[in-house]
Chains A and B, each alone.
Chain A
Amino acid sequence: MKILYFAWLRERLGRAEEEVALPPGVATVGALMAHLATLSPAHAEALAPGRGVRCAVNLDFAGPDHPVAEGDEVAFFPPVTGG
């Protein structure tokens, strides 16, 4: 599964994207975030609850209960600040 990071998440993690194998039982955005947080101390810090990180699955905003599956493009980023 392709994971993308934007803005300060990209900077903290030192990468704009990474390929991650979806472990069995990880089926929602929230569960995926919890899994990613185990990958490194930087991931744990950037994706910690309370950081206000938002998500999009396949180019649409998605909440923590939104399903994820192998082959999805999942992006994590801070609250948007355009305009």
Chain B
Amino acid sequence: MPTIRVQEAPFDVAAEMAALTAGRTDIGALASFTGICRVDDGLAAMVLEHYPAMTERALARIADQAMARWPLTGCTVIHRVGRLTPGEPIVLVLTASAHRQAALEACAFLMDWLKTKAPFWKREEPREGPPRWVEARDSDEDAAARWTSPAG
């Protein structure tokens, strides 16, 4: 069963890794991705809005896809919402498997799909001037589309 959480609070990467591997000896690979709020063009903060009723359902669906496509022993997706300042972690994806290829590929897949198929919206607050909504990028759609060919 994937672990899916949407929360305002920060997450503890080491604790999440330990939870995913606790008591198991069949895991040979644990891949992780942490997305971090980056300073671009004088950014003061980032506000993440989401569609609460839909978000966990969409993330669970994406995680189920990863579990079906790769021989994972488990995966974790944690996405933060609310106001985040530069340097703070935004998103965590962990994938565990017997071997590294499945773990690494599933981790990349989860991030690519999460960016295009989960209802989050980022608003940037610059140090000066009005806030602005981040626009979706074609490159993210292209990254997601590469997984729609027969499962890798």
| Interface residues, chain A, with chain B CB atoms under 8 Å away | 4, 6-8, 52, 56, 59-61, 73, 75, 77-83
Contacts and interface: CB of A to CB of B under 8 A. Distances in A.
Given A8-B133, A80-B136, A82-B115, A59 B53 contact: yes
A61 B96 CA distance: 28
Interface in B53-97: 53-54, 57-58, 79, 90-91
B27 interface: no
B136 A7 contact: no
Nearest to B113: A83
A73 B53 CA distance: 11
Given A6-B49, A59-B53, A78-B133, A83 B114 contact: yes
B119 A6 contact: yes
A77 B121 contact: yes
Interface of B: 35, 48-51, 53-54, 57-58, 79, 90-91, 111, 114-123, 133-136, 140
A77 B53 CA distance: 14
Contacts, number: 73
Contact of A83 (B35, B53, B57): B35
B57 A82 contact: no
Contacts of B133: 7-8, 78, 81
Given A56-B119, A59-B57, A83-B35, 19 more contacts: A6-B49, A7-B121, A7-B123, A7-B133, A52-B136, A56-B54, A59-B58, A61-B58, A61-B117, A73-B53, A78-B133, A78-B135, A79-B135, A80-B115, A81-B134, A82-B50, A82-B119, A83-B90, A83-B91
A80 B119 contact: yes
22 contacts: A6-B49, A8-B133, A56-B51, A56-B54, A59-B57, A60-B54, A61-B117, A73-B53, A77-B51, A78-B135, A79-B136, A81-B115, A81-B133, A81-B136, A82-B48, A82-B50, A82-B79, A82-B115, A82-B121, A83-B90, A83-B114, A83-B140
